[in-house]
Chains A and B, each alone.
Chain A
Amino acid sequence: MGENMKESKDKSKSKFEIEVFVEKDNSKKKTNIVPNKTTVKDILKQLGILSSASIVTINNDIATDDDVVKEKDNVKILSVISGG
């Protein structure tokens, strides 16, 4: 049982690389996440994107800064700055 707990502990610390779509550049960027631990705020910080200047969706649903990201989530970062 001890070994299983260690294994699941290791898995929970495992980092995964996911691609997020960044609308401002119309590009996909790679970020590292720890599933169920890394938050939207962490991802924005990794990419140098301001939370106040963006809206994030996870699987096409609006997400807030404290929402956690899972390995297979479809993450989009939408820009709020537009126009001239």
Chain B
Amino acid sequence: MKCYKCELKGEDKKAAIKLQNGAYCKEHFLNYLEEKIFKTIRKYNLILESDTVCVAASGGKDSLTALYFTFLFCKERNIPMFALMIDEGILGYREKTEKDLRDFCKKFEITLHIASFKKEFGMTLDEMGPITLEKFGRKPCTTCGIFRRLLLNTKARELGATKLVTGHNQDDESQAFIMNVMQGHQKQNAGLGPLAGLNDNEMYVRRVKPLYFVSEKESRLFCLLKGFNVEFGECPYVTYSYRADIRDMLNLLEEKYPSTKSSIINSFLDISLELKQKYNNQNTNSNNSKFKYCSVCGEPCSGEICNACKLIGEIGCKRPKAKQKK
């Protein structure tokens, strides 16, 4: 297979990947990916010159790809940025990705902050998981997701960030949309998109997803071609997750019907404005405010008590100390 861009120039180069719109050699693929990601950032105003950007990074292929391109974008425009890693304390998994992330940040001179479950909650996920599973039938992924989101938001806010970049890619987003549809969680779909969430709130660092249109395969290929050292493995708790089943189903469909995943996210984008408007209108509480705040910790939430505080009560772990924004 030959690179179609090279062929247009009368050159003959082997392709490294075949995509929807043609096959690309290594050089043209790297250019294509950079253009695609920067276009996403610009089109959806994901990062503005007035922002301070925090990149949620785990050391995996997607967060390193997001971190690299965010670093390039911010450097060109003198926009301050840093990386933030949440160490859940998953033995045999997290310490490997942490090393890759530290090496990466050292190479590109990116400031890295790390918040750990052990320090913040007094327990690792490995310690919490069995408690929530046995006592409440709650999978470790649920606990992980709730506490990770809490720490990402509070730490990014304390460090002065106005935007939180995550490495969510086309695969993640198409899975999320389908999961929400299948579970009847349409309101959660309203919060999806390259610029996540429904509204701005000073307590909530708005999440942005520059890799929204990037597939997992593109992300992995990028890391390989750039020589980024990435530990390739799945979280040991993935077998508990509903998402893994949806992922496998979508991968089978993609194999048989190419562009399935991109069609799903484009279909979502087609209705996303109406969804956001609908749930924004429904979101107003008795004080005519769009937000509720947890009666225990004061963080924005959808009910009286936030999910994190409910979990802390169930597990009996420590509550993270809230700090003032820098």
CB distance from A63 to the nearest CB of B (A): 9
- CB pair A64 B16 closer than 8 Å: yes
In the complex formed, the residue of B with least CB distance to A83 is B60
Give B14 Cβ to nearest chain A Cβ, in Å.
8
Restricting to B181-238, which residues have a CB under 8 Å from any CB of A? Answer: 216-217, 219-221, 224-225, 230, 232-235, 237-238
Q: Does A73 sit at the interface, judged by CB under 8 A?
A: no
Residues of B with C-beta under 8 A to A17: none
- Contact with A84, one of B219, B232, B241 (Cβ below 8 angstroms): B241
Taking CB atoms, residues of chain A closer than 8 Å to B42 are none
Nearest to B230 among chain A residues (CB) is: A82
**B residues near A67, Cβ cutoff 8 Å:** 1
Which residues does chain A contribute within 8 Å of B15, judged by CB atoms?
A: 64
B74 interface residue per 8 A CB criterion: no
Contacting residues of chain A (61-84) with chain B, CB-CB under 8 angstroms: 62, 64-67, 78-84
Q: Are the CB atoms of B217 and A55 closer together than 8 Å?
A: yes
State in angstroms the CA–CA spacing of A82 and B41 once bound together: 24
Greatest chain B CB density within 10 A among A51, A66, A81 is at A81
Contacts of B251 in A (CB 8 A): 50, 52-53, 81
Residue in contact with A66 in the complex, picked from B1, B216, B237, CB distance below 8 Å: B1
* Chain A residues, CB < 8 A from B234: 81-84
Given contacts A51-B255, A82-B232, A83-B234, whether A62 and B23 have CB atoms under 8 Å apart is no
Is the pair B18, A64 in contact by a Cβ cutoff of 8 Å? Answer: yes
Distance in Å: Cβ of B153 to nearest Cβ of chain A: 18
Given contacts A65-B18, A82-B60, A83-B60, contact A55 B252 (CB under 8 A): no
Residue of A50, A66, A80 near B219 (CB, 8 A) is A80
Distance, CA A80 to CA B230, complexed state (A): 11
**For B141, B232, B237, which residue has the most chain A Cβ atoms within 10 angstroms?**
B232
A62 proximity list for chain B (CB < 8 A): 16-17, 26, 221, 224-225
User: In the complex, are the beta carbons of B217 and A82 less than 8 A apart?
Assistant: no
Task: Digitize B250-293: 1 where CB-to-A-CB distance is under 8 Å, 0 elsewhere.
Answer: 01101100100000000000000000000000000000000000
B217 and A23 contacting across the interface, CB-CB below 8 Å: no
Q: Which residue of A lies closest to B219 (CB)?
A: A80
Structural contact, A64 and B23, CB atoms closer than 8 A:
yes
Question: Of residues B15, B141, B219, which shows the largest number of chain A Cβ atoms within 10 Å of its Cβ?
Answer: B15
- For chain B, residues 14 to 34, give those with C-beta under 8 angstroms from any C-beta of chain A: 15-18, 23, 26
Q: In the complex the two chains form, what is the Cα distance from A23 to B237 in whole Å?
A: 19
Question: What chain B residues lie within 8 Å of A80 (beta carbons)?
Answer: 61, 216-217, 219-220
Bound-complex Cα distance A18 to B128 (A): 45
Find chain B residues with CB under 8 A from A23 CB: 232
B87: Cβ under 8 A from any A Cβ: no
Per-position 1/0 for A45-65, Cβ under 8 A of B: 000001111110000001011
CB distance from B243 to the nearest CB of A (A): 8
Interface residues in chain B, defined as those with a beta carbon under 8 Å from any beta carbon in chain A: 1, 15-18, 23, 26, 58, 60-62, 141, 144, 216-217, 219-221, 224-225, 230, 232-235, 237-238, 241, 247, 251-252, 254-255, 258
What would be 17 A-B contacts, judged by CB atoms less than 8 Å apart? A50-B254, A51-B255, A53-B217, A55-B224, A62-B16, A62-B26, A62-B221, A65-B1, A65-B18, A80-B216, A81-B247, A82-B60, A82-B216, A82-B220, A82-B232, A83-B58, A83-B60
